[in-house]
């Protein structure tokens, strides 16, 4: 994999470790995004949330603390292509948001996992965080566009994305395949499948222009990076 601006930027941010990346105010609450850590508290929280939202992920497997710890250390902190931030509200860890899968040819990356503790309620919070994070991706990672995908039946998340300016590019059929660890949903590349089609992915894209149409009222500060 070519080392480029995107990968160098992620490496630089990871070197800051426990420093705040972004800071913003939302309805009187202090919102901070900080590089994910491998503390026991974080491992327990991520494991809990991953179990709660397992139907919204493209892969499924036995979820436990050991796998979460390995994912954080090997799949994120040591991964040149992926970065994950913990979301704090008034010092409380309430969710994560992440970026991965850089494509050099299109100068694009994916808005990856965005997940919030369902027990924490603050209406409109994740839409605001997503908008700020997407602007950070465009401004600081110098991307030309941002890609994404989600299950077509995940209507709540699609509504959040649409408020941020995402456009639906394609709806594609998927089928569930057996893997060494569990199962994975994969796009059907041909017109035929040995199984009945039961689910679809929404393939979505975002440009900076579409994001900024509804961004003027949001204020935030980049703390590092």
148-169 pLDDT tens trace: 999 999 999 999 999 999 999 9
Model confidence at 214, pLDDT cuts 50, 70, 90, reads confident
Residue 224 reports pLDDT greater than 90? no
Quote the radius of gyration of the chain (alpha carbons, Å): 17
Identify the three-state secondary structure at position 137: helix
pTM for the model stands at 0.93
Taking CA atoms, 140 is separated from 12, 131, 132, 217, in Å, by 12, 14, 12, 20
Model confidence at 189, pLDDT cuts 50, 70, 90, reads confident
Residue 184 reports pLDDT greater than 90? yes
Q: What's the structural domain count of the chain?
A: 1
Tell me the CATH number at 133. 3.40.630.30
In terms of residue numbers, what domain contains 181?
Answer: 5-222
27-44 pLDDT tens trace: 999 999 999 999 999 999
Count of other CB atoms within 10 angstroms of residue 24? 16
Q: Indicate the length of the chain as a whole number.
A: 225
């Amino acid at each position: 994999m070519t080392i480029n601006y995107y990968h160098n930027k992620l490496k630089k941010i990871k070197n800051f470790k426990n420093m705040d990346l972004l800071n913003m105010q939302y309805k009187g609450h202090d919102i901070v995004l900080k590089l994910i850590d491998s503390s026991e508290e974080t491992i327990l929280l991520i494991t809990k949330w991953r179990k709660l939202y397992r139907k919204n992920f493209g892969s499924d497997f036995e979820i436990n603390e050991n796998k979460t710890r390995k994912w954080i250390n090997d799949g994120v902190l040591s991964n040149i292509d992926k970065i994950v931030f913990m979301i704090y509200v008034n010092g409380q860890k309430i969710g994560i948001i992440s970026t991965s899968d850089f494509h050099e040819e299109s100068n694009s990356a994916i808005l990856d996992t965005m997940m919030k503790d369902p027990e924490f309620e603050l209406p409109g919070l994740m839409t605001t965080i997503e908008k700020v994070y997407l602007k950070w991706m465009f401004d600081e990672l110098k991307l030309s566009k941002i890609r994404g995908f989600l299950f077509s039946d995940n209507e709540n998340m699609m509504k959040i994305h649409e408020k941020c300016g995402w456009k639906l590019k394609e709806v594609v059929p998927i089928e569930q395949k057996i893997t060494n660890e569990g199962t994975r949903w994969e796009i059907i590349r041909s017109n035929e499948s040995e199984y009945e089609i039961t689910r679809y992915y929404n393939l979505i894209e975002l440009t900076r222009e579409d994001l900024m149409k509804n961004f003027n009222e949001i204020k935030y500060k980049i703390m590092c990076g």
